[in-house]
Structure formats: C-alpha cells, structure tokens
Amino acid sequence: TTRCASTRPLRLHDGDRFPTFRNPGPRTESKLYSTLMWGLQDTMFTEHVKLLGKAGQVKHQKPEIAMHRFPYPEYNDDSKFDLISRLIAMFVVYSYLVFSPIYVRRVISEKSSRIRELMRMMGLTDWVYWIGTFASGFLVLAITLTISLVLFKIPVAPLAAVLLYSDFSLLLFICLIYATSAILFLLVFTVIFNSAVIGVIFSTVGWVISYSLPTTLLDPLGVDRYMSISRAAKLSTSLLPNSGLYWAFRLISFFEGQGIGAKWSNLGNEAVPADNVTLGLVVLMMLISVFLYALLLWYLDNVWPFQYGIPKHPLFFLQKSYWYTALEHDSEREGTIGGAEETGSDAVFEPPPQDARTTIALSHVTKKFRGSNKKAVDDLSLQIYDGQLTVLLGHNGAGKTTTMNMITGLFPPTRGRVHINSYDIQTQTKKARESFGLCPQHNVLFDELTVEEHLYFFYSLKESPDMSWKTHVNDVLASVDLAEKRSALAKDLSGGMKRKLSLGNSMIGGSRILILDEPTAGMDPQARRAVWTLLQNLRRSKTILLTTHYMEEADALGDRIAFVAHGRLQCCGSPLFLKKRYGTGYRMRIAKGSDCRLGAVTEKVTAAIPAAQLTSDIGHEAMFNLGFPPASDVIPLLKNLEEKKEHLGIASLGISVTTMEDVFIRVGELADVSIDTSGSSSSSHNGTDRIGGLVEDDEYPTFQRVTGLPLLAQQATALFRKRWNATKREYFLPILAIVIPVVLFFLYTSLDVQGAEETTIKKLVYDVGSYAGSTHGFLSNGSLLLGDVDFVAAMTEQKVDVKKGVEDPDDYLLEIARHSLADYNGRYLVGGET
C-alpha cells in the first residue's frame, strides 16, 4: 500500500476510476500523474519484478515504457451549459417555493371555510373535486416546465444549449411526472392540516427538505460523493418529488456531459461507469411515487377525523358498501326511528298529523367536542316532516347550529343516529345528501364569481339537465329578488343580498330538503317579509328546517317549532300548541283613571269569562289574564267595558295574546330551573343578578383620565398583554420558529463535520476487472510475442476484450470514438504497442 500526502492543490483522485461528471472532450492531463504517479507506479512495478526474480519465479528484464494518451475526435465544448444542466432541479424547486405556499393555502382555506363541504352537500363527488384541485396546480407547473424546457433546448449559439443532446419528449415526460408527484405531495398536506398557516409552514418545510435531502445529506455540493451513495438511498429518496427531479437531472447532466444526452434508447444504461442506478430506475420510482401519493391522499381524505365531514372506518376499502352504493333505504332502522321524538325525554310534544312522512329523523343524538366536557347536544331526538316548515329555536349556544351541522354531515355525532329519507348520514352520506340544499349561518360564497355564476355553478353540481339551467337560474333570481344584480360580483353585494344569494344557492337544482341557518339575518324588514312569502310558498312541496332569532318569523312561518336549551330538546309543536302550553292566553291591560272602580271592573270581567284573573295592580295600571276564551266571550266583554269606561273610571284598555317571545322566555326559564337543580348553570345566573344589581343599585364610578407618558406606558402594556395572550393560544408558532432553525443548524453542522471527515483519500485497487461490465483494449503489433500472449490472457481473465493486430492505434481508436463516444469514454481503457 502506498500513501501520499494530499492537499487540495495536489489532490490525487485515487479513489475514483472516473470523474463523476465528465465534460465533452478528453480529460485534462494532470501533470501530477505524469510527474509523480506514473514514476511511482513504474518504481513499484520494477521492485515487484525484482522480488519475483529473487524468488526464482521470473527472469528480471525491465522493458522500456512510454505513455501515450488516447486520441479524441472533434467535439463541441459547452461545459458552461453542462454546469447549468446540473442545477436545473434547483432552479425548478426554488422557483416554485413561492407557488407551493399559495396553492396549499388556497386549498386549505377552501376546506376550513367549509366551501368544499358545501359543494359536497350540493352533489359534488370527491373524485371530481380532487381532479379539479389537482388540475389547477398541475397546469401551472406543467406549462411553466414546458416553456422552460423549450428555452433549455434552444441553442443560443451553434451547438450551444443547456440541454443540447437529450430528447425533448423524454425531458417533458420526466417533468410531467415530477409535476404530478409534486402536486399530489402538496395535496397530502392540505388533508392533514385545517389551519392554512400551519399547513403552509409544514408544506414549505417539506418542500425544501424533499430537495435538501439528496443535495445536502447525500450528495452535497463541493463534495464528490455521488459514486459512494448506495442504490437504496438514491431510489428511496426518488420517491420524494424534488429528490426524484434532482437525481433525474443529475443523470441527465452526466449524459449531456458525454455529448450523447438522455434518450429513450439509453434509459436503461448507466450514465456513469459502475453507477448503481439508471435514469430509467429513477423515472420508475417517480412513477411509483405518483401512485403512492394518490393512494395516501385518497385514504387520508376518507379516514382523517380532524376535518369537516363524516370520517370512514380505517378499513373502509374492505367494505362492500363503499364500492357498491346501497340503493335501498335503511329499512332496519326505519321502524325504530318513528316515535323517537316522544321517548327518552320529559319534553312536551304535539303529536304529528297521522299521514305525515318523516324526512329527517334524529334519534338520541349527542355531540361532545374534543377538549370539552360539556355536551353541545345532549340526547336529542326529533322528527321533521315532509311538506312542513320546522323552526329550531334556542338561545345563543343552545346547540341549534351543531344540530344542523350533524344533520348535514358536517361532522358526526358522538352518539346517536341521523337519518335523511331513511338513509344514515354517517354510513350513506352521499345518498342522504342527494336532495339537500343548505344555506349556512355564515355566507359561503366565491368572491370572484357573479351572482348568476354562483347559481349556475351550484346548479351544475346537482343532477340536473344542463339545457334548462338558464330558465331555472332566472326563476331563482326572481324568487330572491336578485335579477338586477345577476352580473355583480359576490364581494360587491351588501350583507342582506349575500344572504339572499346563499338562500338562492340552496334552492337551485330543485332541492327537496332545505336546511336554512338564520337565512334572514342582516336583511331589512322589507326583504325579510319577501323571504317569508317565498318560504311559505315553498313549504308545501319541500321539507324546510330553519333556525332564527326572530320570534315573529318563527310564529309566521313555522308549522312546527322545536325549542332547544342547553343542548336538549325542550318542546316541539305548532305555534298555537306551544302558546297554549306555555303561555297565559289573552292579556287585558287597563289604564286606570283617577276614580277607577277596580272591583266593579273585576266583577264584569269574571262574569263574562269565569277563568279570568287579576294578575297585577300597580300604580295606574291593572292586568287581567283571560286565558284562552272563545272569541264569542271576549268581544262582548270588550264592548261592555268600552261603553262603561267613564262609569268604571277606565282611561283606556287594550288586549294582547301570548307571543312566541313569551313562550321562548318561559321555556328558557324552565330549562334554567332544570339545570339549576343539578348545579350546572349557577354561575350564569349569579352573573346576571350581578349585572342587574349594578344597574339598579350601584352608582357608576368616575375615573381621572390618564394622559401623557403614563397613558403611553399603559397602552404599550395593554398591547404587549394582548399579543402575549394570542401567543399563548398559538404556542406552536413560536415553537416552530425556534425549533426549525435550531434543528437545521445542527443538521448542517453535522453534515459539514461529516464532509470534513470524508477528506481522507480512499484506497484504489489498480485492477481493470473492477470496472463495470466488459471493457475493451487493443494490442498493436505484427505478431504476438510470448509476453504478449501472457498479457492478453491476463486481460481476458479480467473481462477485457483485447483486439489484436491493430495496425494504427490512432485511426482505430478515432473510428470507435466517432461511432460511439459513450462506449469510447467508458469502456476503451487500455492498449499496448510493442
């Protein structure tokens, strides 16, 4: 073994059989080899022969040796472009470092704003959604990559281009595979994360790492380590899109450096002699990555529980029901959901009409969100009937919107079942949603679309004939009074008009079930009345479930009204039924004059209506509760009192009936009393009492104003405290901002140390047989001498094909080089002339 001191100016590449990257033309002659290495080899050879001679094995006779370089044909020197071809992958990856966050943010925002789930409710299938989302990103990459390849192929001078020799069709094929893999890679992040900020952070880190892994960890710039990288490492990292593109163009640059380029014909050939991968294998791994990312995207989208929608069982793909959609109703449960409304609760219900058909049925539904001990919905059972408008009422936070979200399949119930037309929303989601039309609580609109384009879009998602869309859209525009705004962008509409458009979106396509969450919120009284008229006309042909905070609206529209408080259903029935059950009936108010004879008034009232009672007598006003007498008793009483006003000392009188607001307050009070019994809401009542005490008893305190420097300090402290509170609730962002740079610092530091350790020169065995495959040589002389025969035998043993009897070595070698330059550079290694 011979070791030589190696410094960078005199570095002997004695560990490499070939330079990893080979420029066109002959390799530069190294004076170091001719002055040091060849003399060293000759001395070692001489001493070895002397040793053999002393042992009697050979007769020492040193031949005269002269070295001669192989000739090289004419070639095109475009080494500058060869360097650029090695960096194409880096240009592509970092150019799209701006595109990838924008794309990921848009897709995640579409999901987190519930736009995607609304489109699914309106009939959009998952595979159509993902194809459209994929195409929007793929086309951007594909078009720009195609333009880039065209520019790389255009010569800027005769025979001078970045990718001069490679087939354009092969390059385009590789780039399109990369674009497909890259977009699917980014889409996987959009499924995992619901926050656009977090999704952008992790997808950007993943994007950079997928390129840095081969370039920094395996094949760092400035360290010639390519030939020592294992085959498994190269192929496994090719499954990452940016890594695959890097390895592909690394091999393409090798082919370009040899002056032959990457072609379909040499996909299976080694770009560097003794390489352990081929371009074809890298492309194959990139194709496999496309399949793997598509499979992962499909699986996670179906089972990932931390997103909107009903997650499927982890082994859903083994269930027959997934591949063959059930056409039958859930007949096993159809018999059990009937009557669920009347069981399991002490609430008050009015029996439905005998011929009523149940459209929506909730059976003992409970919802408890992660991280909360409170049940948003608690054992709620309710039936909603066809041809009726059912109103869901309750205070803020009562569970109305949560109930509607479970009905629409936005998220699954913790317990219980929801059936739509006897289809289970959890197991038969697509069939259950077929007839849905949803107007969500918050407007889910596309700012870049007009009113008419919105309606056409949602119409197209339905199973409706395309030929009739204009007529249907015009009808809906007229119904919601937006005909004059048909060409206006959604972002330019007022709040009330946006609610009208959301209502129109729910109606489009002939939806049979309308789920309307506060549809008239933000509308002026005139617009609200117009919507009431519209819903009254629709309710006989559809099933409508509506929530509202307007008691007048519930009274005017509701066929049945269901009250929810603290997540529990308290009562359900027609407005008149609920008023009779919770109200006090008619109330008569009498303004007393100075000489009012209240006793005489009371006698006349009880004589006409025996059930009437004097409920209050405060100051100049008295209040009578008349109950629910027939009109034939009330009208004569009012006439009698009006005629004898002066005699009885009545200044004025009026009569009113129990309103839904009275029922709402009464039901809420009873629900609060029920909760107070279990001690669950004492804190809320204490707070209410305290507020009332402040208003009635406490004098508002006065404060001296803070000005000047103390005011600035107070404001700065408040601002800091506000930001600190926000940071505490999003603790992961500062953690990521600290952890990621630290991890990358230590990673790159360790790699730098590892690179320094690898400066030790590797051992090279001078053995022709160690080259990949068969190599070629020649012997130029008239006839084979005895020593020549031994030489040929030794070369043949080492898989060297020796051409004998070559007359002119230069002409022989140049002819081979012109025929196949790649073989000449890689396989014609040694020759001799005696």
Q: Tell me the domain boundaries of the chain.
A: 79-303, 330-569, 584-657
> For residue 559, what are the contacts with CB-CB under 8 A and spacing of at least 6?
388, 389, 390, 539, 574
Higher pLDDT, 456 or 19: 456
Work out the pLDDT band at 339, boundaries 50, 70, 90: very low
Residue 747 has a CB neighbour count (10 Å cut-off) of: 14
User: By C-alpha distance, which of 410, 273, 409, 575 is closest to 420?
Assistant: 409
pTM: 0.77
- Mean pLDDT over 446-451 rounds to 92
Contact 274, 268 (CB under 8 A): no
Share of the chain above pLDDT 70, in %: 75
Query: Average pLDDT, whole number, for the chain?
Result: 81
What is residue 697's predicted lDDT score, i.e. its pLDDT?
A: 47
In this prediction, residue 754 carries a pLDDT of 55
Q: Which pLDDT band holds residue 7 (cuts at 50, 70, 90)?
A: very low
Do residues 207 and 183 make contact, with C-beta atoms less than 8 angstroms apart?
Answer: no
Closest CA to 215 of 751, 746, 750, 745: 751
Q: Of the spans 90-94, 490-494, 694-698, 810-814, which averages the highest pLDDT?
A: 490-494
Yes or no: say if 440 and 118 are a contact pair by the CB < 8 Å rule: yes
Question: Of 271-275, 530-534, 769-773, where does mean pLDDT reach its minimum?
Answer: 769-773
- The least confident of 87-101, 404-418, 701-715 is 701-715
Least confident stretch, 302-311, 566-575, 810-819: 810-819
- Please give the DSSP secondary-structure letter assigned to residue 466: G
pLDDT band at 765 (very low <50, low <70, confident <90, very high): low
pLDDT digits (tens, 9 = 90+) for 576-589: 889 888 876 788 89
pLDDT, tens only, 209-257? 899 877 777 887 666 778 788 899 999 999 999 999 999 998 998 888 7
Q: How far apart are CA 86 and CA 378, in angstroms?
A: 63
Strand, coil or helix: 768: helix
Q: Nearest to residue 109, comparing CAs of 436, 447, 426? A: 447
Are 571 and 674 in contact, with CB atoms under 8 Å apart? no
Taking the C-alpha atoms of 329, 335, 338 and 343 in order, what is their torsion angle to the nearest 10 degrees? -130
Distance CA 190, CA 188 (A): 5
Rounded to whole angstroms, the Cα distance separating 58 from 528 reads: 113
What is the CATH number that goes with domain 584-657? 3.30.70.600
Report which of residues 432 and 347 the model is more confident about.
432
750 compared with 134, residue with greater pLDDT: 134
pLDDT given for residue 87 in this prediction: 80
Answer yes or no: are the C-beta atoms of 451 and 476 closer than 8 Å: no
Domain 330-569 bears CATH identifier 3.40.50.300 = yes
Query: Is pLDDT larger for residue 61 or for residue 137?
Result: 137
Max mean pLDDT range (90-99, 291-300, 372-381, 783-792): 291-300
- Contact (CB, 8 A) for 345 and 568: yes
